[in-house]
Amino acid sequence: MRIYIYGGGEKIVGRSGVGQAIRHQRECLRRSGVDTTDHWTADAAAVHVNTILPDSVLAALGAKLRRRKVVWYGHSTMEDFRSSFKGSNALAPLFKRWITFCYGLGDVVLTPTEYSRQLLEGYGLKKPVYSISNGVDTEFFQPNPAARSALRARYGLGEEEKVVVSVGHMIARKGLPEFLELARNVPEAKFLWFGWTNPKLIPQEIVQAMENAPGNVRFPGFVGREELREAYQGADVFAFLSHEETEGIVVLEALACGVPTVLRDIPVYGGWLEQGKNVYKASDNGEFQRIVSGLLDKSLPDLTAAGRAVAESRSLEQVGQRLKAIYLEQRVLPPLPQALLRKQARA
């Protein structure tokens, strides 16, 4: 049996975390021995839906007509929709009603963390909601000391210059204004923000903030996987100032690459990222400045080995096995033969 991973809207979300999650799902399933398809086939047991566009509703309804299971990924919440694009705050209540309707079409709803699971259950969803990481490719994203020089050569920086990176859409929710303020307060370092957002969707206050960015900030835009990996590997600090996430794939990528990481202290990281153990957390600009400066001058303890261990616990292999277990529990896939179950138990 196969899983049909519905690709509608993938071109729209391809440069976002949702697009990355879709690619991860294909690889997770491959590594766990579950075949996938990009269209309906006679042996497709279920459809994965990742976006909340109208065509995704049609895909779910089509699955129900075929008497196939619908697995809907809850990547979005009302909370992370706010403070994003133009008009998002005013539309947030309607957005909540729409995603609740969409997710309600799923036979199973999957969402990246316990935090986002609790949010979705609070919306009144009646279907089972599971938390399962989006995962990270720990074979691709891993430490590489040689990247330090490569990153500086790419952007014309001195070999000894300190570099702080962040990744995400150019929106307030991702902490872009605070990132710019941090750069002003730490002028001895260069700050690189990777990511691209359609200019038509960026609020005017963010446009103005970027136009007035301090001279030690650069916006390389959207880059490919290899260049982004080099940025993680070659940076002195990964600073992620986002105010709201359902997980944060870029956080997992940074941890996998062994870069010292500081995050905003928000609920989504509770229970798996711990202050002073595998990451540093800050609640305001003053704390971010203090921690970033401490990481740059190496006066703070190195937590990168523990951070890498977190990433490994959410590797594509680990996520694939959990996804397969959820499939079997919810009968998305046919139950394994008893002989195979006994063999796995002995192993």
φ, ψ of residue 335 in degrees (nearest 5): -60, 145
Q: How far is CA 90 from CA 94, 246, 302, in A?
A: 9, 21, 42
**Among all chains, which residue has been given the structure tokens 């190195």?**
302
Is the pLDDT at 341 greater than 70? The verdict is no
Which residues neighbour 340 within 8 Å (Cβ) at sequence distance 6 or greater?
none
162 neighbors 168 (Cβ within 8 angstroms): no
3's tokens = 């899983």
Q: Which residues does residue 35 pair with via DSSP β-bridges, in sequence order?
A: 2
d(CA 149, CA 83): 36
Q: Which residues does residue 193 pair with via DSSP β-bridges, in sequence order?
A: 166
Is the pLDDT at 21 greater than 70? The verdict is yes
d(CA 51, CA 48): 10
Q: What is the identity of the amino acid at 30?
A: R
Q: Coil, strand or helix: which one is 244?
A: coil
d(CA 278, CA 273): 6
73 neighbors 42 (Cβ within 8 angstroms): no
d(CA 258, CA 96): 36
235's tokens = 């940076």
| Interstrand relation of 108-111 and 69-73 (parallel, antiparallel or unpaired) | parallel
d(CA 280, CA 301): 10
64's tokens = 């129900």
d(CA 72, CA 188): 46
Task: List helix spans (H) across 66-108.
Answer: 78-81, 88-104
Q: What are the tens digits of pLDDT across the range 254-305? A: 999 999 999 999 999 999 999 999 999 999 999 999 999 999 999 999 999 9
Question: Which of 50, 61, 48 is CA-nearest to residue 16?
Answer: 50
**Among all chains, which residue has been given the structure tokens 């209540």?**
93
Secondary structure letter of residue 301 according to DSSP: P
pLDDT at 311: 98
For residue 240, the surrounding DSSP H or E stretch is strand 237-240
φ, ψ of residue 106 in degrees (nearest 5): -80, 145
Q: How far is CA 15 from CA 12, 49, 164, 295, 323, in A?
A: 8, 17, 22, 30, 24
Rounded to whole angstroms, the maximal C-alpha distance in the chain is: 66
Q: What are the tens digits of pLDDT across the range 77-127? A: 999 999 888 889 999 999 999 999 999 999 999 999 999 999 999 999 999
To 10 degrees, what angle do helices 249-256 and 304-313 make?
Answer: 120
Secondary structure letter of residue 136 according to DSSP: B
Q: What are the tens digits of pLDDT across the range 131-178? A: 999 999 999 999 999 999 999 999 999 999 999 999 999 999 999 999
The pTM score is 0.92
pLDDT at 338: 43
d(CA 324, CA 345): 16
pLDDT > 90 in the chain, percent: 89
